[in-house]
Amino acid sequence: MRFLRFLIFGVCTLLIFAALNNRIGQIPPLGKFLNPFSGFWANNRYMDVLPPSVDVDELSRPVTILWDDRRVSHIFAENTEDLFFTQGYVTAMDRLWQMDFQSYAAAGRISEIVGEATLEFDRLRRRIGIPAAAKIAEREILHHPETRAAAEAYTSGVNAFIRTLRYKTLPLEYKIFDYWPEHWTVFKSALLLKSFSYTLSFRNPEAIQTRTREVLGDSLMNVLSPIYPPYMDPVVPAGTSWNFRRTNLQSTSEGRNGFPTSRLNFEHGDPPVEGSNNWAISGVRSKTGLPILASDPHLSLTLPSIWHEIQLVGPDLNVYGITSPGAAGVLFGFNQHVAWGMTNGGSDALDYYRITFRDEHRTEYKFDNSWLPVTMRIDTISVRGQKAIIDTVLLTHFGPVVFLPSDSLTDPQIPPGAALRWIAHDPSNEWLSFLRLNRARNLDEALRALEHFDSPVQNFALADDAGEIAIVHNGKLPIRLPGQGRFLSDGADPKTEWNGWIPRSHLPQVRNPKRGFVSSANQNPVDQSYPYYLGDGYATFDRGARINTLLENASGVQGEDMLRMQIDDASIYAQKIMPTILSMIPVEKLSDLERRCYEELMKWEYNYRADMIAPTLSETWMVEISDAIWLDEIDRPDGILARPRRDVTLHLILTQRSSPFYDNRSTPAAETLTDILLQSFKSACRKLEERHGAYGPRWRWGQARGTTLGHLARIPGMGRYKLETSGNFNTINAMSGSFGPSWRMVVELGSMPKALGIYPGGQSGNPGSREYDAFVDDWVEGRAYELLFLSSPDIQHSRLPFTTIMKGKP
Amino acid sequence: MIDILIIIVLLFILHTITDFWWWIIVVPLVYAFFRAHSRGSAFRMGSLAAGILWLAVGLYQLLTAADLIARRVAEMMGLGNPWIVLSITVIVGALTGGFAASTGYHLAVGFGIRRNPPQRKEKDTDAVT
């Protein structure tokens, strides 16, 4: 009896221990997590208190860190190794969990942390070959002494910080998911660089375009998805003459390379995510007589923010800007002499090749007149709480066959049974470009630094303090036949392979143009006159055209003017389309509510401002118009086709009063443009009433759309939700629901550069600190901070409240 | 009363110098093994000691530096209010401490260090001490 009681209580206590010590489903281990001494309660404001001194064995000389009032560290070191070591240490202090988690994500290892739920996510990353590409990148980084020294010093800095951790001081997310940080490695840094390539260059419409062409035929395809879109305003201004001829053209294939794709399943297109801008004006347009550079890359917005701000001062460099936690140096920024910023280039860096396997064993595939062997890569995916999953990837000389037709796993962008040829798989060392750009003393040195940058293709805008400006569409670009890569290619035909690389000197670029500025906004880099074909997936004209219009009229410009331009929310698209479509609405056929909406739009000056209702009306109406014109053409019983872009819709409406596209083929009546404009207007008003209730403040753009900065691992409660932002994807301030300006920077060059900057987040990755989202409200309001570019650690400044001394070995 | 205070002091020291949460199992269990006179008194000393300590420290955290994190964790857990998170913290601490102490008492009985579980009447008198 007495033993029985002991047994019952003993078992209960053991069960309590097990239940509270382990993560169960989505619930953190409650005993550890709730312990008020070392659980989540310890991830409070005090966790961000800065140490006055840090002792580390690895440093050869003491390093001084000045912290400014926004927790930006200004690091002063006597040699480069100590500098990057300290950058690694400080970055880990602020963002360890984020960089570690992002490296897990790129490697396809999230299931080790989360469990089965993310298995498909992981498998896709591995099938695409991101970890394999990172392995090659790591080799390149270690092969070059400059990048090797930086990467190794940075890595040991991160690891020196990891050594200081105990459970109490672990970042919150480790406690939620119940795991410990891994040692940092150069491979993890390489993974992060490759995940940028994935984010920025993996988008590719060729699968859906192939199917669309099959159903609609060539001529209709070229009307609905033209290679060169209407209203094009390219990065290299039209009329620029090219002083070279196209080299190395040998293929005779006529570029018809489509294949049956009826098995592909496409979903309705997502709302567009796009938006980076950069520009530089020369001294003739600025007040100081020297160039100003502006850069605002747009990305998916998360907390912690993708960027971390820093100033690095060493024996041969002094650079300020932002970097991705995990990468040494600065990615977007400026030094004493040069400023730079990127936008995504968008040129086609990826093709799919339909593979003809010899038999169902898939050990050989057809190429030219022979059979080549398929290599199998066996991948083991560890999954938390269950047995590891074995996955087999088939490799061809093009690259991996990402999906087989028999796979349950799908991605509408990736055609099953096709091999992926992607530039990110090739050896390259982009890091070298950034490290040299960080040190560049003039435009020539900066341009030379870019020669090592292959992927993802970027428009680099540059300016220097000698008064020069330039923009380069920079990267490794395959030589293609006109239109090659618009559709799926035949992997058995050697003529469909790429014809080498466009020489660096032939890349689209402009230096010190007569118009006194350079700019880009993800649009076509060049027009038809450029001797090479680059791709067809660029952004529409509207943002770029707005930037160019404003800059053409700019003079006596100062930094604040450029910031005002970055938050400009006027839509050239709305300005072009609205007068026409409003004039075609028969007002007498509108209800009271509809008339009110109509009048709101009549008064509107095409600004997407948070406190206005007109932007909500406009945006909802545009979606309805696009549906009314195109849905009956593209929504087929066996799947959806490529939706024509908004520039094509605009061109159709402005140039053709009657067109067969206007008729809704599913109704007996023959609709005209007037009919569908009226119908779509009424339906937009009706939908808004359904979504937001009666006409009123909840229809305002800021509330109706809203922008969310979700947590990186989608943990509820750790983000900022429904921020009332202005701007739209077709304005310079290209804001969307969870996508937008991830960094706004303006640099006025001079004897000392003067800069403004802001990103939506905060320097600390600790959700329990005010520094986690300290910049968000100012970002929403379109404000930016004066960046402190320091030249010496001895400086006294009211905005430098704190100093940390990093001590080396005594 | 003095038992509870001793357990609280022991727990506070161990919680401060180490990060293990399971001191709220070990300390009440061991203490009750030697000192508890009944299951009721064991449970009471364990749950009160762990509960009071976790309440005091949790309250201090919530009122000083942990306001932001408690609000975010409340949202994460779908509770809406940081005070509910504090309540759960205290309940988890108290129940764990109580069960652990009861186990310690029954362990002592099992080893013959204590008498059989006392009668209801004796238990009441124990509780007063």
Residue A263 reports pLDDT greater than 70:
no
Q: CB-side exposure of B123: number of CA atoms within 13 Å?
A: 13
Cβ–Cβ < 8 Å for A467, A492: no
Indicate yes or no: CB of B93 within 8 angstroms of CB of A34: yes
Indicate yes or no: CB of B75 within 8 angstroms of CB of A43: no
User: Residue A343 pairs with which residues in a beta bridge?
Assistant: A459
| Count of CB atoms situated within 10 Å of the CB of A636 | 14
Q: Nearest CB to B106: which of A5, A717, A767? A: A5
- Quick one: pLDDT at residue A10? 84
Indicate yes or no: CB of A176 within 8 angstroms of CB of B76: yes
- Quick one: pLDDT at residue A64? 97
Residue A53 reports pLDDT greater than 50:
yes
Residue B121 reports pLDDT greater than 80:
no
Is residue A785 classed as helix, strand or coil in its secondary structure? strand
- List, edge to edge, every strand of the sheet that includes A332-335: A53-55, A802-807, A63-67, A73-76, A308-314, A317-323, A332-335, A338-344, A458-464, A469-474, A509-511
Q: Provide the percentage of residues in chain A whose pLDDT is more than 90.
A: 83
Residues in chain B within 8 Å Cβ distance of A3: 110
Cβ–Cβ < 8 Å for A805, A52: yes
pLDDT-based confidence at residue A261 (cuts at 50, 70, 90): low
State the best of B103, B113, B114 to mutate against chain A, taking most chain A CBs within 10 Å. Answer: B103
- Quick one: pLDDT at residue A640? 84
Q: Which amino acid is at A295?
A: S
Residues in chain B within 8 Å Cβ distance of A770: 68
pLDDT-based confidence at residue A482 (cuts at 50, 70, 90): confident
Beta strands in A56-131 (DSSP E): 63-67, 73-76
Q: CB-side exposure of B22: number of CA atoms within 13 Å?
A: 12
Q: What is the token pair recorded at A145?
A: 């002494």
Name the interface residues of A facing B (CB cutoff 8 Å).
Answer: 1-3, 5-6, 8-10, 12-13, 16-17, 20-21, 30-32, 34-41, 43-46, 166-168, 172, 176, 715-718, 767-770, 772
- Quick one: pLDDT at residue A252? 45
Give the residue among A732, A729, A727, A731 at the shortest CA–CA distance from A780: A727
DSSP state at residue A440: -
| Count of CB atoms situated within 10 Å of the CB of A44 | 20
* Distance, CA of A32 to chain centre: 36
**Residues A203-210: what's their mean pLDDT?**
86
Instruction: Burial-class residue A798 by CB neighbours within 10 Å (0-12, 13-18, 19+).
Output: exposed
Question: DSSP characters for A371-430?
Answer: EEEPEEEEEEEEETTEEEEEEEEEE-SS-EE---TT-S---TTS-TTEEEEEGGGS---H
How far apart are the CA of A26 and the nearest CA of chain B, in angstroms?
Answer: 10
Q: Nearest CB to B58: which of A38, A41, A769? A: A41
DSSP state at residue A647: H
- Quick one: pLDDT at residue A30? 95
Instruction: Burial-class residue A230 by CB neighbours within 10 Å (0-12, 13-18, 19+).
Output: middle
Residue with tokens 């672990």: A170
Instruction: Please give the Cα distance from A551 to A544 (Å, whole number).
Output: 11
- Quick one: pLDDT at residue A129? 96
Q: Where are the alpha helices (DSSP H) in A115-240?
A: 119-128, 130-143, 145-163, 172-177, 186-201, 206-216, 218-224
* Distance, CA of A324 to chain centre: 12
Residue A272 reports pLDDT greater than 70:
no
A296: enclosing H helix or E strand:
strand A292-296
Q: Nearest CB to A31: which of B22, B61, B106? A: B22
B70 → chain A, closest CA residue: A41
Q: Tell whether the torsion through CA atoms of A424, A429, A434 and A440 is positive or negative.
A: negative
Which residues neighbour B56 within 8 Å (Cβ) at sequence distance 6 or greater?
Answer: none
How far apart are the CA of A270 and the nearest CA of chain B, in angstroms?
Answer: 28
**Residues A131-152: what's their mean pLDDT?**
97
Q: CB-side exposure of A611: number of CA atoms within 13 Å?
A: 2
Indicate yes or no: CB of B89 within 8 angstroms of CB of A36: yes
- Quick one: pLDDT at residue A597? 97
Q: Nearest CB to B92: which of A20, A45, A172? A: A20
Indicate yes or no: CB of B72 within 8 angstroms of CB of A718: yes
Residues in chain B within 8 Å Cβ distance of A45: 65-66, 68
Cβ–Cβ < 8 Å for B54, B62: no
Indicate yes or no: CB of A767 within 8 angstroms of CB of B88: no
Beta strands in A37-136 (DSSP E): 53-55, 63-67, 73-76
Indicate yes or no: CB of B68 within 8 angstroms of CB of A716: no
Distances (CA, A) of A779 to A180, A473, B116: 33, 29, 70
Indicate yes or no: CB of B76 within 8 angstroms of CB of A30: no
Residue with tokens 């060169």: A228
Indicate yes or no: CB of A37 within 8 angstroms of CB of B16: yes
End-to-end CA distance of chain B: 8
ipTM given for this complex: 0.91
State the best of A3, A13, A38, A176 to mutate against chain B, taking most chain B CBs within 10 Å. Answer: A13
Q: Nearest CB to A13: which of B25, B39, B73? A: B25
pLDDT-based confidence at residue A204 (cuts at 50, 70, 90): confident
Residues A704-745: tens digit of each pLDDT: 999 999 999 999 999 999 999 999 999 999 999 999 999 999
| Count of CB atoms situated within 10 Å of the CB of A24 | 12
Residues in chain A within 8 Å Cβ distance of B32: none
Residues in chain A within 8 Å Cβ distance of B74: 717
* Dihedral pair phi/psi, residue A455, rounded to 5°: -145, 145
Number of alpha helices (DSSP H) and beta strands (DSSP E) in chain A? 22, 32
Instruction: Please give the Cα distance from B96 to B46 (Å, whole number).
Output: 8
Indicate yes or no: CB of A34 within 8 angstroms of CB of B99: no
Instruction: Please give the Cα distance from A579 to A559 (Å, whole number).
Output: 34
Cβ–Cβ < 8 Å for A521, A547: yes
Residues A274-297: tens digit of each pLDDT: 789 999 999 999 999 999 999 999
Q: How many domains does chain B have?
A: 1
DSSP state at residue A242: P
**Residues A234-241: what's their mean pLDDT?**
92
Residues B12-68: tens digit of each pLDDT: 999 999 999 999 999 999 999 999 889 899 999 999 999 999 999 999 999 999 999
By residue range, what is the domain housing residue B66?
Answer: 2-128
Q: Which amino acid is at A57?
A: D
Residues in chain B within 8 Å Cβ distance of A5: 39, 106, 109-110, 117
* Dihedral pair phi/psi, residue A607, rounded to 5°: -100, 130
Is residue B81 classed as helix, strand or coil in its secondary structure? coil
**Residues A226-253: what's their mean pLDDT?**
81
Residues A647-669: tens digit of each pLDDT: 999 999 999 999 999 998 888 88
Cα dihedral A125/A128/A134/A140 (nearest 10): -170
Cβ–Cβ < 8 Å for A153, A81: yes
DSSP state at residue A265: -
Instruction: Please give the Cα distance from A342 to A331 (Å, whole number).
Output: 9
Q: What is the token pair recorded at A42?
A: 């310890």
Indicate yes or no: CB of B21 within 8 angstroms of CB of A21: yes
Residue A749 reports pLDDT greater than 50:
yes
DSSP state at residue A110: T
User: Residue A464 pairs with which residues in a beta bridge?
Assistant: A338
Mean per-residue pLDDT of chain A:
93
Q: How many CB pairs under 8 A join A and B?
A: 128
Residues in chain A within 8 Å Cβ distance of B77: 717
Q: CB-side exposure of A95: number of CA atoms within 13 Å?
A: 29
How far apart are the CA of B31 and the nearest CA of chain A, in angstroms?
Answer: 15
Residue A246 reports pLDDT greater than 50:
yes
Residues in chain A within 8 Å Cβ distance of B24: 31
| Count of CB atoms situated within 10 Å of the CB of A61 | 13
B28: enclosing H helix or E strand:
helix B23-35
- Quick one: pLDDT at residue A78? 96
pLDDT-based confidence at residue B128 (cuts at 50, 70, 90): very low
B115 → chain A, closest CA residue: A2
User: Residue A293 pairs with which residues in a beta bridge?
Assistant: A280, A747
Residues in chain A within 8 Å Cβ distance of B107: 6, 10
Q: Nearest CB to A717: which of B73, B95, B96? A: B73
Q: What is the largest CA-CA distance in chain B?
A: 51
Residues B69-115: tens digit of each pLDDT: 999 999 999 998 999 999 999 999 999 999 999 999 998 888 777 76
**Residues A541-556: what's their mean pLDDT?**
96
End-to-end CA distance of chain A: 66
Residues in chain A within 8 Å Cβ distance of B58: 36, 41
Beta strands in A641-706 (DSSP E): none
Which residues neighbour A353 within 8 Å (Cβ) at sequence distance 6 or greater?
Answer: A396, A398, A418, A419, A421, A488, A489, A490, A491, A496
| Count of CB atoms situated within 10 Å of the CB of A117 | 12
Distances (CA, A) of B67 to A114, A275, A721, A768: 27, 36, 19, 8
